[in-house]
Amino acid sequence: MTHLSLKNVSKHFGDFTAVNDFNLDVNKGEFVSFLGPSGCGKTTTLRMIAGFEIPSTGQITINGADITNKAPSQRNVGMVFQSYALFPNMTVAQNIGFGLRIRKEKEADVVDRVKEMLAIINLEKKADSYPYQLSGGQMQRVALGRALAIRPEVLLLDEPLSALDAKIRIALRAEIRGIQQKLGITAIYVTHDQEEALSLSDRIVVMREGEMDQVGTPFQIYNFPTTVFVANFVGTLNNASAEVVDPAKSIIAIDGIQFESAVDLKERKKGDKVRVAIRPERFNFVSQEKKANIVDCRIENITFLGSIVRIQVMIGNSKFYMDTFNNPFLELPKIGDKDQVTCSREAVLVLDE
């Protein structure tokens, strides 16, 4: 069931287009991330849903009701900011109860609801602390509790974790997802961190320069990017220009070295220029596993990344990365070695040049 819907939404600042023709239907209880590089219009889109910006054109509805021009205070939309934005003059409990007291709810109900939220965000002991007495992670949890206390239709989060350090970021990420699923609340999450988007979302909207580039589940976005931009932005990706050799058999060639792809190339002609994209982890050394595409390569560089070893190889004149799991009992190749690598047909993505 569609809960939140954006139809043909655009936003211009003067003659600059920050968001162009944005279309999205979000289901009740769905967690959708807006992912994209800085300045691509994620925040602007979120602020239009919150009511802090009015779309230049288009329509935004919640439960079918048009809210495009409603004041932010009338939308019942919860917002979590990167900078926490807790009221410094109020305690944790007062911050959480603020929205309820504005709604003139009975004091006893407010107290109950605040208790409930404190339990959910796991900060019962800090009810009477002031924001300055909390850590960043705790402040952001309070902000989350404050936004959820009013039982909002939609929860909006604008890079809520980017001011926190890596460990807390990952812990709080899981916590946010857990709370969202438990309450079954519809959430829109803005981030430029692909790992965050992949791990949290039901669906991801990848944005570029104000446009939606691709919408899909994390699985689709990562494994089947439809544009070079998405392929590059999400995860590490090898890509090289190639030429179609045999459209019927889906064979392409990089510098004359042939690869077989699972992508249907019947629409293309022999000699067409295309871009080939292969994830580093889809490569294997031939000695380890036998696959469809076996090509010669030369080892250029080896980088140790902890659980993963990233090996840079030359295939023809194109550089490729390949990732293998770190295994202390396996011998790594040496720089300058000639070797053979392989990857499955499915690993070979063919995109427009």
Partner 1 sequence: MNILARIRRIPFWSWIWFILGALYFLLPLYATVNFSLRMERDVIGFKAYVRAFEDPDFLKTFMYSNMLALMTILASIILIVPTAYWIRLRLPEARRVVEFITLLPFVVPAIILVFGLIRIYSSPIKIPFTDTTLLQPLTTFEIGTDILIVAGYVVLGLPYMYRSVDTGMRTVDVRTLTEAAQSLGASWFTIIVKVILPNIRAALLSGALLTFAIVVGEVTLASFLGVPAFGPYLFLLGQHRAYEPAALSFASFLLTWLAMGLIQLFTGGQGQASGAH
Ligand X SMILES: Nc1ncnc2c1ncn2[C@@H]1O[C@H](COP(=O)(O)OP(=O)(O)OP(=O)(O)O)[C@@H](O)[C@H]1O
Residue ranges that bind ligand X, judged by CB under 6 A: 13, 16, 18, 36, 38-44, 192
| Per-state percent for the chain, helix, strand, coil, to nearest 5 | 30, 35, 35
Task: Report the residue number, 35 or 150, with the smaller CB distance to ligand X.
Answer: 35
Task: Report the residue number, 145 or 225, with the smaller CB distance to partner 1.
Answer: 145
User: What span, in angstroms and rounded, lies between the C-alpha atoms of 268 and 263?
Assistant: 11
CB atoms within 10 A of CB 312: 18
> Which of 183, 135, 188 minimizes the C-alpha distance to 159?
188
User: What span, in angstroms and rounded, lies between the C-alpha atoms of 7 and 69?
Assistant: 14
Q: What is the 3-state secondary structure (H, E, C) of 185-207?
A: CEEEEEECCHHHHHHHCCEEEEE
Task: Report the residue number, 43 or 342, with the smaller CB distance to Mg ion.
Answer: 43
Q: Interaction with partner 1 in 27-56: which residues (CB under 8 A)?
A: 50-52
Q: Provide the pairing of β-strand 154-158 with 77-80.
A: parallel
> Which residue stretch of 38-46, 97-105, 305-313, 343-351 sits at the interface with Mg ion (rule: CB under 5 A)?
38-46
- Which x/- pattern, by CB under 8 A, does the window 95-134 give for partner 1? ---xx--xx--------------------------xxxx-
Is the distance from CB of 87 to CB of 97 less than 8 angstroms?
no
Task: Report the residue number, 35 or 62, with the smaller CB distance to ligand X.
Answer: 35
Residue 44 binds to Mg ion (criterion: CB under 5 A): no
Residue 191 binds to Mg ion (criterion: CB under 5 A): no
**Range 146-157 burial, b when 16+ CB lie within 10 A, else e:** bbbbbebbbbbb
User: What span, in angstroms and rounded, lies between the C-alpha atoms of 227 and 229?
Assistant: 5
Q: How far is the CB of 83 from partner 1 (least distance, A)?
A: 6
Q: Which of 5, 58, 59, 136 binds partner 1 (CB under 8 A)?
A: 136
Residue 43 binds to Mg ion (criterion: CB under 5 A): yes
Q: How far is the CB of 53 from partner 1 (least distance, A)?
A: 11
Q: Which does 44 bind (CB under 5 to 8 A by kind): Mg ion, ligand X, partner 1, none?
A: ligand X
Contacts with partner 1, residue ranges (CB under 8 A): 50-52, 71-79, 81, 83-89, 98-99, 102-103, 130-133, 136, 139, 143, 146-147, 150
